[in-house]
Structure 1
């Protein structure tokens, strides 16, 4: 981002990024030109290059960051309130609905294909998104643990990592098949694992005719 932007400049830049995201979602990354974005956002060529002096790739990275932030924002307020089984179920339903509505199009994935998944900017966006998502899930599991709903010795980081990996795998399969079956299964199984971990184990009973030691 250009240094020392005024409040008006930041608002203009944000408007360009949001408008570009709308165009890219509608037309696709490969079919969208800077002229399309200028037309949608009402910006001149000089203005566009003022905020994105490195050109289209810099703008695409800014849109990718916007889309990454949107992934988490679409899960709120539920992702920030995972302190009961009811709140986990509401979050689960929101995640499924989000990706079902998205269908077989993945704006974030398409953007990364355009700018290169291994480019430093793209990698930083993906790493930041996954780190924050896992931290939010871990915070929710800790809230369950504080309420006595999961086992006190549950490995929170491992459980949150497994749940996130299941979501990503389910979404990938959904993009390939058009079916949300695997995503639903990953979420349901991950949440059920948390539930089972908090179920107290009954002490062994004595069979009839045996003596208690």
Structure 2
């Protein structure tokens, strides 16, 4: 929690603002910009929000806000997830995922933000769990749409297929983060989609 200072005259405590130091600047910037969009005109003379921002929960709340912001970006950058209704759409989504992580390389903002929370902390587990659940649910919804359109065998379990595909993606991302090699991520996506297509294969 943030600390409070009592005045000499016994006035109510004023919570101190948590200072964003240079060490936190790179990680905190996206979330702070989201809360404080750029303004035009005279307001530009106001203090830089990256220097001081009020977080009642202190540094832990700051890191949690950044982690949630980065987790939201992962799904937002995959807008194709909501329209996986054809094989062309699936391959467009595949290319978007590969392009995103190729550009990112070993510098993962979400990983950095979760590291600030502590990988074993409840907050980190909650943020990561919510992200993976949402990701898997959208993949499963896409598989069901394809199954309803007779593009995928009805015997396939959408939830399990989505879980397996997501596990392959996460494994590929982990290898990319540690080796800067994207081939494993590409293979996981290509083979995962090929597996979905196999029982009722049609031209791309």
Q: Shorter-chain-normalised TM-score: which range?
A: 0.7 to 0.9
Under a length normalisation based on structure 1, what TM-score does the superposition of the two structures give? 0.72
Q: Show the counterpart of 1:109.
A: 111
Instruction: Report how far residue 199 of structure 1 moved.
Output: 3.9
| Cα displacement (A) at 1:25 | 7.7
Change (3 A) 1:166 1:41: same
Q: What does 1:59-208 align with in structure 2 at a 5 Å threshold?
A: 59-76=62-79, 78-199=80-201
Runs of 4+ aligned structure 1 residues displaced above 6 Å come to: none
SS of 1:92's equivalent in the other structure is helix
Instruction: Decide which of 24, 27, 48 is 1:24's aligned counterpart.
Output: 27
Aligned match of 2:49: 41
Structure 2 residues not aligned, in runs of 5+:
1-22, 30-45
Shift of 1:24: 2.0
Q: How many residues matched?
A: 164
Unaligned runs of 5+ in 1: 1-19, 27-37, 201-213
CA contact (8 A) 2:28 2:66 kept: no
| Partner SS, residue 142 of structure 1 | helix
Q: Shift of residue 43 of structure 1? A: 6.0
- Return the TM-score normalized by structure 2: 0.75
1:146-182: per-residue Cα shift (whole Å, max 9, x none)?
Answer: 1100001111111000000000000111111111100
Shift of 1:56: 1.4
Q: Deviations over 1:6-30 (max 9, x none)?
A: xxxxxxxxxxxxxx9973288xxxx
- 2-side partners of 1:54 and 1:193: how far apart? 46
CA shift in 2, pair 1:82/1:39, >3 Å: same
Asked whether the equivalents of residues 154 and 197 of structure 1 are also in contact (C-alpha less than 8 Å), the reply is no
